[in-house]
Amino acid sequence: MTDTRAITAGNLPDLQDPLVIDGVHLPSRLIMGTGGAPSLDGLGAALLASGTSLTTVAMRRYSPSETGSLFQLLVDHGIRVLPNTAGCFTARDAVLTAELAREALETDWVKLEVIADEHTLLPDAVELVDATEQLVNRGFKVFAYTNDDPVLALRLENLGATAVMPLGAPIGTGLGILNPHNIELIVSRASVPVVLDAGIGTASDAALAMELGCDAVLLATAVTRAQNPAMMGEAFKHAVIAGRLARAAGRIPRREHALASSAMEGRAEFL
């Protein structure tokens, strides 16, 4: 049988279906975070198993005692680095952190994270909008971590965000996608890539995100704090591919009543 579709199980995700952001082809639609890993070696193994092409890092004070360089690890594995502004509560801090990251890591991509408080870690919409505008004006490619709010997502896109990244649930909770309808609405109106970010607990959550039409999934804790991070990384690799395929394949409509898949005609009769 000849399959002429662009997306098939055999060629996905390596060649035919890359995620293209800012002209860069990313073979994997799984974006990894690095927070929560107990060791650099274990993290490297999990990242490799996940097949990720893009991975986030945080910017913190340099410490000479730290052994091994995370940046070097990513460079060695050919994984593109996406610095974030984790821990920033104001647009001012986020812009300064992004400037430092651009200088340190020689990339103008930034995952913009401006949180409201340490308890919820939820994005502060007002500061987020302000920071997005400032960073776009300074030439950054802004990956905006945002609430699952379709109105805000469109605002960020209109301000020039390169990608919008709505949360499934609060960071680190593993609660999955709490409002799939809003995620679908964001996807249906966006003309920039939509990345489901935060709240992912296990592989099926990532598959669901892709089935809802997201272009990629970003997660960290679900892998780094799993009992077997490398195995979980591989599970997510397959989940993202499965969800992407299912989305492209076109699911059946939901029905209220059962529909027999076997014909009634021609049954044997037992008297």
Partner 1 sequence: MNITLNGTGHTVASGASITTLVSEVTGHSLAADGQATDGRKLGVAVAHNAQVVPRSQWSATALAEGDEVELVTAVQGG
Chain contacts with partner 1 (rule: CB under 8 A)? 33-37, 43, 56-62, 64, 66, 69-72, 75, 81-84, 86, 96, 99-106, 111, 113, 220
Nearer to partner 1, 19 or 220 (CB): 220
CB 39 within 8 A of CB 67: no
- Residue 252: which residues within 8 A CB-CB, separation 6 or more? none
Nearer to partner 1, 48 or 96 (CB): 96
Quote the CA–CA distance of 149 and 140 in Å, as a whole number.
23
Quote the CA–CA distance of 47 and 92 in Å, as a whole number.
32
In the complex, the smallest distance separating the C-beta of residue 120 from partner 1, rounded to whole angstroms, is 17
Identify which of 223, 220, 217 has the alpha carbon closest to the alpha carbon of residue 30.
217
In the complex, the smallest distance separating the C-beta of residue 37 from partner 1, rounded to whole angstroms, is 6
Nearer to partner 1, 86 or 194 (CB): 86
CB 57 within 8 A of CB 33: no
In the complex, the smallest distance separating the C-beta of residue 241 from partner 1, rounded to whole angstroms, is 23
In the complex, the smallest distance separating the C-beta of residue 33 from partner 1, rounded to whole angstroms, is 4
In the complex, the smallest distance separating the C-beta of residue 190 from partner 1, rounded to whole angstroms, is 22
Phi and psi at residue 218, to the nearest 5°: -120, 130
CB 177 within 8 A of CB 169: yes
Nearer to partner 1, 107 or 182 (CB): 107
Pick the catalytic residue: 111, 141, 237, 244? 111
Catalytic annotation present for 141: no
Nearer to partner 1, 113 or 157 (CB): 113
Beta-carbon neighbour count of residue 61 at 10 Å? 4
In the complex, the smallest distance separating the C-beta of residue 238 from partner 1, rounded to whole angstroms, is 23
Q: Got the DSSP string for 88-156?
A: B-SHHHHHHHHHHHHHHH---EEEE-BBS-TTT--B-HHHHHHHHHHHHHTT-EEEEEE-S-HHHHHHH
Sign of CA dihedral 132, 136, 138, 140: positive
Nearer to partner 1, 36 or 213 (CB): 36
Phi and psi at residue 164, to the nearest 5°: -110, 140
| Residue the block writes with tokens 């609660």 | 175
Tell me the catalytic residues. Answer: 111
